[in-house]
Structure 1
Amino acid sequence: MTSFLTTVIKDLLKTNDSLSNLTFILPSKRAGAFLRREISSQIIKPEFSPAIISIEEFTEQVSGLATVDNTTTLFEFYSVYKNCTPAEETEEFENFSSWAQTLIHDFNEIDRYLIPQEKIFNYLADIQDITHWSLAKEKTDIVKNYLAFWKKLPVYYRDLQKNLIQNAVGYQGMVYREAAEKIAEFAGENATAHVFVGFNALNNAEQRIFQTMLEKGARVYWDLDEVHFRDKEHDAGLFLREYAATWPYYDKNRFEILSNNYSLEKEIEIIGIPKQIGQAKYVGELLESLPPGDLDNTALVLGDETLLLPVLNSIPNNIPALNITMGYPLKYSNFSLLFEKMFEFFKNEDGRYYYKDVISVLSNPIIQRISRDRCRKVIAAIKNENLLYLSPQQIQQLFRDPVPEAVKLIFPSSSPPPRQAIENILLLISHIKESLNEEQDALNLEFLYRYRQVALQLEELLKKYPHIKSINALHHFYNEISSLHALDFQGKPFQGLQLMGMLESRVLDFETVILTSVDEGTLPAGKSNNSFIPFELKKTFGLPTYKEKDAVYTYHFYHLLQRAKKVYLLHNTDTEGSMGGEKSRFLLQLELEKQMRHKISTTVITPKVKHTQDQLQEVEKTPEVMEMIREIAGRGFSPSALTTYIRNPLDFYLQYILKIRDKEEVEETVAFNTLGTVVHKTLEEFYGQLKDKQLTLEDIEAFRKATTAEVKRQFTLEYSSAPLSKGKNLLIFEVARRYVLNFLKMESNALQGGSEVFIKEVEANLSTSLDIPELDFPVNIRGNVDRVDIHNDVLRIIDYKTGKVEQPQLEICNWDDIITDYDKFSKPFQVLMYATMLLENRSGGPQVEAGVISFKNLKQGFLKFAKKEHSRDRNKNYNIDPEVLENFKVQLKYLIKEICDPKIPFLEKEIKNAYGTY
């Protein structure tokens, strides 16, 4: 393959003994190193290197103006805006910047394309006058002000340029226009020493510069293939065909096309892969399959540059050298989220920080190092105490003395002004730097240095321009400035694999090309209109529209393929993306306009999913496990432990043998079990006062009045001190309060109906031993019963349930089912365990009933355990008599013997839910 740069240098050496006195102008600085290498490889005798500059640097030389960035232009524009606008009509800088950046973009385009500014601004004002929303003959003040704004555009434009020229600077378009006006004078002196290489889409200012320089003897080398130039419909040659047809220079001189490579033999693989990460992984497989000798002439081009990090993580070990021409963005550093959260904290005016934001900062490895891992204890305390919103004072109290200085800087006691915010960031950077080691933390120190540059740049802007008065505005410019900073990779630029973005590929050629993200919406990027100038007006004045932007993408795409021999084009097949998995139109065009010698194949890659058959787990009872079971039996099996075993023996093993509990997390929305606990604790607080006493209407009325306060108190104890006055928590608080009030109303109705209730026990701790001769160790059962009372001479054992329970769920026909079917019989199992413990040594007394009060089914009242002979039997025995207890104890002992039998392993059960087995 003969590259474009090789062809250019060879052609120049035919007419120049030395290239030292030439100045090469390139589309960007990136290709300069490759051009310098090409020159050194072709010259015979030693000589000085020629000057190699970008087109931006060339326009600065010609115009005498230095280019300033958009941020500086915006600040200068605000000064102009305030001078041109009455004080009472002047917007704050934050509001101003929201529309001024779009206007600066339009100014830039108007200048780059040498549009008569007065004419286009008048057109724009007239359009707004025609299309405004008011239909009244007499214009309102709002409409008048709106139209006045458009009529002021020429004034804004003129005064902004005047301000910038006084400082010998300008935004890009302004520099281009100035260069276009001065190019004739410049070209008369030394045009023949200039060579323009590899350009395609030129704005009008550049066209005037090129034409003038051409007329005076400069050389221009275009890089376009004959195929695309001759095809009048192909967008890759859209711009160069126009120049060949319209530039006066080419009326007399031949338009030279240096390439005829596109139609040569090529292997092109179009590969569809689901998701962006899938493409990154497949890139690694492709690189691994390439011969090592091919890597020096291989380019990996990222159509979507956000793939940089996944691709870097997918580079295989067989890549000996890698040159990355893209910068490593600051957003990938350990500090990105930290500084982003700091700005959020600075903007927080109520002085309380959301726990997730606090934890995300305290989890940062750099902050943990500064605090010497004290952050871990603070995070644990936040979760244990269920703190949803924390004040700076609370955070400092959790750290205790001495509070790390970094924590004070990150969590200010009040929203600081912009200058104080920058000072906090700079102080934090200093603290972090002191804690880092130069050898071990070289990368982090480099990132930290870049963030310090960003902060210092913001500080200079604050000193020079008094416009930034809010943290929101400061945050906006922090994001804009930090997005321009990146870490440059170090490497050998001409060895190994070249990893780059689309724009870095300009002027360069490779035999093997891997291009990712060839998707509609990425290549090309699609329609976007960040402009105040309507489409029709752009067409009228020759400003670029999405048609020209698409043609730019088309040129870059086909330029990559132009001299390549092997091409891999990867696109996303995932239908969940913004474009629904639609591959780029470029790929369709490749297939439809296939060249005779091109071999194009289309493949869809799907990840290999290994089929694994789920097997139920089985855990043998080792001597150590048996020792734990004996310990549990000695303390006492609880109803929840035994029902857990019935539901799934493996869960019993995990929770009670291994003691694995759910991970402690902050309960942001009140969980259902917390709701149940609050209701239980509230009733315990009320009815605990009445133990061994008669329940009266006066008691219930007193409880009713105290309900709201008591429920709030229990939520504070069981959940968090966070307010329950909004959101889901307000609804859940109201549910708990209603549960208690409805329960009290049910009790009141019963008393008013003539019932008598005597409270015997509230949240009583019960326990008893079981005689199981087959086991050589003591076995106990224990539990807490919610309430025991005597209701109209009937002893009732009551279990509260905040969920919904129906009467059939407490009825049983076959005793064997009570220890095998958790879903149907867990509730009768529990109440019978309470009855067994309570009545173990009882002889005589009133009739006994055991059951449930369901807060979601209070209309049914007390739901009683019942024994039936068969499912349709209407005759039910509600009495907990000795026969019932004896039959239950038989099943209970059988269950405990199974748990304690070393020969029976813990077998996992298939658990069914509404969606199937899990």
Structure 2
Amino acid sequence: MVPFLYKIAEVFYRQYGAELYTHTFVFPNRRAGIFFQKYLAEIAGKPVFSPTVMTIQELFALLSPYQPADKIQLLVMLYGHFVKVSHSEESFDEFLYWGEMLLNDFSDVDKHLVDARQLFRNIRDLRSLETDKSYLTDKQIEAIRRFWTNFMPVENNKTKQHFLETWEVLLELYTAFRAELHEKQYAYEGMIFREVAERAKAKETLTPEFTDIVFVGLNALTPAETALLDYLKNTGAADFYWDYDFPMIRDEQNKASLWVKDNLRRFPSRFDVKDREEKPKTTIEVIGIPSGVGQAKQVTRILSDLIRTKEISDPDEAIDTAIILPDENLLLPVLYSIPEEIGKINVTMGYGLSHSSVSSLTEHIADLQRNVRTTNGGPGFYYRFVLSILNHPLIDLSAKKEAEALKKHILDNNRIVVPVSELQTCSLFRLIFAPVVRQEQVADYLKDILTEVYNSLIGEKHGENATPNDTRPIDLEREFIVQYYKSVTRLQDTLQGVKELAVDTYFRLLKRLAQGLNVAFSGEPLSGLQIMGVLETRVLDFENLILLSMNEGVYPLKKPVNSFIPFTLRKGFGLPTYEYQDSIYAYHFYRMISRAKRVYMLYDSRAEEMQTGEVSRYFYQLKYLYNDFFDIRERVMTYDVSAPQVSPVSVAKTPAVIQKLEAFREGGDRYLSASSVNNYINCPLQFYFTTIENLSEETEVQESVESDVFGTIFHKLMEVIYNRYKGKTVTPDILTTLAKDDAYLTRLIEQAFAEYYFKQKENPQSLQGQIYLIGEILRSYVKQTLKTDQQFTPFDYIDSEHRFKRTYRVNDGLSVNFKGSIDRIDRVGDRYRVIDYKSGKGEVNFKDVQQLFDASKANRPYQILQVLLYSYFYLQERGGISLSPAIYYLRSIFGDLSPDVTQNKQLMTDLSLVMEEFLPLLNHCLEEMFDPSIPFSQTRNEMHCRWCPFRDVCGK
């Protein structure tokens, strides 16, 4: 394979030799110029002066008196004129989207030398448009008439009225905007092109600093470019070379041929550079892979095979092999998938700054600053945005210990709004968690943060435990930070004259700026494996090509043209449409593969959501129209993702597990509880996770009052209310007075919320919003509980939250530690009551004791088992008393049901009768729990799995 640029270099060196430096070569991109100079050096075989090399854009800029303006600067200027011309009250933030669209439209109008007055003429004034059509072709006139016909008939249409109002100001806006740019000697790209083209058409002297100009590898010329090339051709200063030497590109049925005939006729070449040798068939292998990252992994296999078969003769200098990425998001997966044998890699495409870690950190910071709140009279930040920053990878690298401590503080204290004073625990956090109120502060605020993070990464790179492989990601992050810092500085300079810009708008502008920037990877461009985007392949040839993301809609890209100018008008005035983009993509594809020996086309075969899993149309064109020129092979890779049958999960009582169980025996330091016994009955495996291993769900900040907190607060309220009467007799008058004392209840509720919800025990505060409503619900439950208690008055109040720790003897070889907390104990007459509060609802009646231990029952009355166990241990303390258990279900407390537990509707007055049947079943349960031969297995009743936090662990 002889590359096209090599043939150009060969022909010109043969003609001009050492005098070639007097020529100027113009290419579509810089990369082509670098490769041209490489080939020229190889052909010369000795040092020679290089000719001047530039891009077509650089040539126009050189011939124009204008300086290219910054995009943000252009948008600010355009917005100023828009407000003046339209008298709109639209904010700069709202204008941004339309502003970018207008800039693109104005640039298209200028590059294509469209008469802006005719294009933007008031639609009502049709007659004046009809009078002058001399500059339009018949097809263009027909397209424009079709637009007027479709647009005008319907009256009183709001959408068309808004369109009309916008169009009425476009000409004035375009004229005023260009006038200011001209006065300041700045311009957008289209304006530069138009200025040069109009002087060329007027045959003015453009006075280039060179005379022999060679245009190489151009294709889709705009009218402005055509005008300049015509001018230079007529002066005898230019020569032209087109990379059209392929049947597919010359095929008039192929969209790639759109400009071929016209360019060859209008701008002929001085020398013949056609390849006379017959080219062997190109091998094309099309591989469907159901994953984006899977494509990157397939690159590893392809490169390894090419190295093994010597198709890549020198892996350290694999310059004849290129990986093409239509989707830049696959760049990093591909970089991590390059085999170790490949010595050098040259990335000639940029990585989007908006995909970097520093960009996502800035977005989290923007969310933080948009949601500054007030707490306890000072500024604070919503915890979710704080946690997003603390969990960010860059923060993890820069201040890991401080971030972990801060996260623990937020969770432990349930901080929904975190005060600034609690966040500023280190220098980095003092910078980040500082409220920004004015747009002028944002740039310095961000630059200080970026500087601090950058310096932290330098310390991480040179730390004691750092190794070269570990520091490569850090080097990338530092480069991204540097580029982002430059973007912030650039935006700061651009917005110096802008007033009344919101902080949120500033962050939106910065995000838009980052979306349009790529971070260029440094490397040696003339050696190593080449990784590039589609546009970087222009005029370059490689023997081995690996194209990823060859899906329809990705390559060619399916992207609508965002424009104020409707399609029919764009077509009528010769402006680019989607057909124009299709032709460009088709040319790049066919030119790219035509000289290659081997082409690998990888595509994502998944069909899900908006993704069809369809291979690009170009493959079907190759397969059915041009198969004589290619050896085409197809295959689809699949992954076996069928889920194996889930085996039952159980934990054997190994010596290590037995050792942990021993801690619950007499003399150990751990205790069983009524809840843990219920857990074991429901699911032994869940008991193992929660009680033996102490595993639990990850703690989260509670924005609302969950059931556990609700129950805890109710328990606290009842404890404080009744503790005043400990050891005393409670009468109906006392309960009535308590229920009516709303001020007292409010104070208690606020104190309980401060302790258990806000985690600020010393700082009770008035409840507001949703928390206030929950407080009122608690108030109603307390009052209803007091009302329920009146039916038992007078009664003696014995104790609240009565805690016990006892050893329970199961059999001669097993005694177990138990502990618990009894919510309330009182005495009605001669009968003691052990009372348990439950925030839900349930049963107070049971048929037989066996029912309490039967895990197969969907609605096993586990609450009764718990209160019976409490009653038994209290009876062991007091002995010789008449005792009956009771359960206060808050959700049922407004009914007429008694809270006393009954068996077959009979009140239990002698607990010892129930215990005769209860204790043997309890003993059996505990013996099984400690039996080394019985593993902790899954429950058979899947009703117990519905809310189990370990459901994913055991596969239920």
**2:432 aligned residue:** 410
Deviations along 1:478-509, one digit per CA (max 9) or x if unpaired, are: 22333455443233323332111111111111
Deviations 1:276-327 (A, max 9, x none): 2232233333333332642432211111111112222222323222111122
Name the residue aligned to 1:291. Answer: 307
AA aligned to 1:42 is I
| 8 Å contact from structure 1 (residues 4, 508) kept in 2 | yes
Rounded Cα–Cα distance in structure 2 between residues aligned with 1:803 and 1:116: 76
Q: 1:318 to 1:883 in 2, by over 3 A?
A: farther
Is 1:603 the equivalent of 2:620? Answer: no
Matched, 1:674 2:693: no
**Equivalent residue in structure 2 for 1:774, among 809, 812, 817:** 812
Which runs of no fewer than 5 residues in structure 2 stay unpaired? 127-146, 313-317, 374-378, 463-473
Q: How many residues get paired?
A: 891
Residue identity opposite 2:889 in structure 1 = I
1:782 partner SS: strand
Q: 2:5 aligns to what?
A: 5
Residues 459, 193 of structure 1: alpha-carbon distance in 2 compared, 3 angstrom cutoff: same
Q: 1:871 aligns to what?
A: none
SS in 1 for 2:664: helix
Q: 1:302 aligns with which of 316, 320, 325?
A: 325
The offset of 1:59, in angstroms, is 0.8
Cα distance, 1:860 vs. partner? 6.9
Where 2:114 maps in the other structure, the secondary structure is coil
Where does residue 560 of structure 2 map in the other structure? 528
Q: 2:212 aligns with which of 193, 196, 214?
A: 193
CA contact (8 A) 1:805 1:857 kept: no
Range with bigger deviation, 54-63 or 190-199: 190-199
Task: Give the match's secondary structure for 2:495.
Answer: helix
Shift of 1:823: 6.2
In structure 2, the residue matched to 1:237 is 257
Moved more, 491-500 or 799-808: 799-808
Cα distance in 1, alignment partners of residues 929 and 756 from structure 2: 33
Shift of 1:740: 5.5
Question: Of residues 272, 281, 287 in structure 2, which corresponds to 1:271?
Answer: 287
Moved more, 308-317 or 113-122: 308-317
Report the AA paired with residue 520 of structure 1. Answer: E
Say which of 216, 224, 230 aligns to 1:211. 230
Cα distance in 1 for residues equivalent to 2:693 and 2:300 = 42
Mean Cα deviation higher: 900-909 or 490-499: 900-909
- The letter of the residue matching 2:239 is R
Q: Which residue of 1 aligns with 2:28?
A: 27
Paired amino acid for 2:12: L
Cα distance change, pair 641–170 in 1 and its aligned pair in 2 (3 A): same
Instruction: Please tell me whether residue 353 in structure 1 is matched to residue 388 in structure 2.
Output: no
Structure 2 CA distance for partners of 1:199 and 1:144, relative to 1, 3 Å: closer
* Cα distance between partner residues in 2 of 1:262 and 1:850: 98
Whole-angstrom distance in 2 between the partners of 1:880 and 1:211: 113
Match of 2:869 in 1: 833
- Give the SS at the match of 1:574: coil
Q: 2:73, 2:495 within 8 Å by CA — same for their partners in 1?
A: no
| 649-658 or 842-851: bigger deviation | 842-851
Q: Which of 829, 839, 847 pairs up with 1:802? A: 839
Distance, in Å, in 2 between the alignment partners of 1:337 and 1:185 is 51
Q: 1:382 Cα deviation (Å)?
A: 1.0
Q: Secondary structure at the match of 2:822?
A: strand
Superposed, 1:539-618 pairs within 5 Å as: 539-609=571-641, 614=647, 615-618=649-652
Give the aligned partner of residue 872 of structure 1.
none
1:652 aligns with 2:652: no
SS of 1:109's equivalent? helix
Say whether the 8 Å CA contact 2:239–2:270 is kept in structure 1.
Answer: no
Tell me which residue corresponds to 1:855: 891
Match of 1:899 in 2: 929
Q: Distance in 2 between matches of 1:632 and 1:36?
A: 86
Q: Closer, same or farther in 2 for the Cα pair 1:554/1:839, shift >3 Å?
A: same
Aligned to 2:469: none
Q: Where does residue 108 of structure 2 map in the other structure?
A: 109
Task: Tell me by how many angstroms 1:261 deviates.
Answer: 10
Residue range with higher mean Cα deviation, 641-650 or 786-795 = 786-795
The change in CA–CA distance for 1:749 and 1:369 in structure 2 (over 3 A counts) is closer
Q: Deviations over 1:19-62 (max 9, x none)?
A: 32221111111222111111112225542111110110011122
Alignment check: 8 A CA contact 2:286 2:634 kept: yes
SS of equivalent to 2:253: coil
Q: Is the 8 A contact 1:268 1:568 kept in 2?
A: yes
Instruction: Tell me how far 1:225 sits from its aligned partner.
Output: 4.7
Q: C-alpha offsets along residues 673-714 of structure 1, whole Å, 9 cap, x if unaligned?
A: 223323333333334444443352662563363656644543
Give distance in 2, aligned partners of 1:273 and 1:53: 40
Partner Cα distance (1:353, 1:207) in 2: 58
Q: Is the 8 A contact 2:113 2:194 kept in 1?
A: yes
CA contact (8 A) 2:327 2:549 kept: yes
The aligned residue for residue 72 of structure 1 is: 73
Distance 2:553 2:776 in 1: 53
- Mapped to 2, the partners of 1:544 and 1:818 lie a distance apart of 76
- Structure 2 match to 1:683: 718
Contact 1:301 1:516 (8 Å CA) reproduced? yes
Q: Which residue of structure 2 lines up, in the alignment, with residue 642 of structure 1?
A: 677
Q: Separation in 1 of the partners of 2:524 and 2:873?
A: 81
Q: Using a 3 Å threshold, how does the CA distance of structure 1 residues 305 and 742 change in structure 2: closer, same or farther?
A: same
Q: Which amino acid aligns with 2:242?
A: W
User: What corresponds to 1:16 in structure 2?
Assistant: 16
- List per-residue Cα deviations over 1:747-768 (Å, max 9, x = no partner): 637847x986664443322454
Judged with a 3 Å threshold, the aligned counterparts in structure 2 of structure 1 residues 815 and 432 are, in CA distance, closer, same or farther, namely closer
1:620 aligns with 2:654: yes
SS in 1 for 2:108: helix
Structure 2 Cα separation of the partners of residues 856 and 458 of structure 1? 63
Question: Are 2:283 and 2:597, in contact at CA under 8 Å, matched by a contact in 1?
Answer: yes
Unaligned runs of 5+ in 1: 869-874
Deviates more, 1:741-750 or 1:711-720: 741-750
Q: Identify if the C-alpha distance between structure 1 residues 470 and 743 changes in structure 2 by more than 3 Å, giving closer, same or farther.
A: closer
Residue 159 (structure 1) aligned with residue 176 (structure 2) = yes
Aligned positions of 1:692-707 closer than 5 A: 692-694=728-730, 696=732, 699=735, 702-703=738-739, 705=742
- CA distance in 2 between counterparts of 1:43 and 1:726 reads 87
The one-letter amino acid of 1:853's match is Y
What value does the CA root-mean-square deviation take over the aligned residues? Answer: 4.1
Q: 1:527 to 1:885 in 2, by over 3 A?
A: same
The structure-2 alpha-carbon separation of the partners of 1:268 and 1:804, relative to structure 1 and needing over 3 Å to count, comes to farther
Query: How many Å separate the matches in 2 of 1:775 and 1:882?
Result: 24
SS of 1:814's equivalent in the other structure is helix
Q: Which residue number in structure 2 is paired with residue 455 of structure 1?
A: 488
* Counterpart code for 1:220: F
Alignment partner of 1:720: what SS?
coil
Tell me the SS of whatever aligns to 1:840. Answer: helix
Give the alignment of 1:330-349 within 5 angstroms: 330-331=353-354, 333-349=356-372
Contact 2:123 2:164 in 1 (8 A): no
Gap change, CA 1:133 and 1:466, over 3 Å in 2: farther
- Provide the residue aligned with 1:785 in structure 2: 822
Q: Which moved more, 1:900-909 or 1:581-590?
A: 900-909
Q: In the aligned structure 1, how far is the partner of 2:124 from the partner of 2:936?
A: 81
2:167 matches 1:150 = yes
Structure 1 counterpart of 2:194: 177
Tell me how far apart the structure 2 counterparts of residues 626 and 579 of structure 1 sit (CA, whole Å): 53
Three-state SS of the structure 2 residue aligned to 1:25 is: strand
Three-state SS of the structure 2 residue aligned to 1:31 is helix
Change (3 A) 1:125 1:610: same
CA 1:371–1:125: 2 relative to 1, 3 Å: farther
Relative distance call for 1:372 and 1:909 in structure 2 (3 A) is closer
SS in 1 for 2:800: strand
Amino acid at match of 1:104: L
Q: CA deviation at 1:857?
A: 7.6
Distance 1:270 1:186, change over 3 A: farther
My pick for the range that moved more, 504-513 or 743-752, is: 743-752
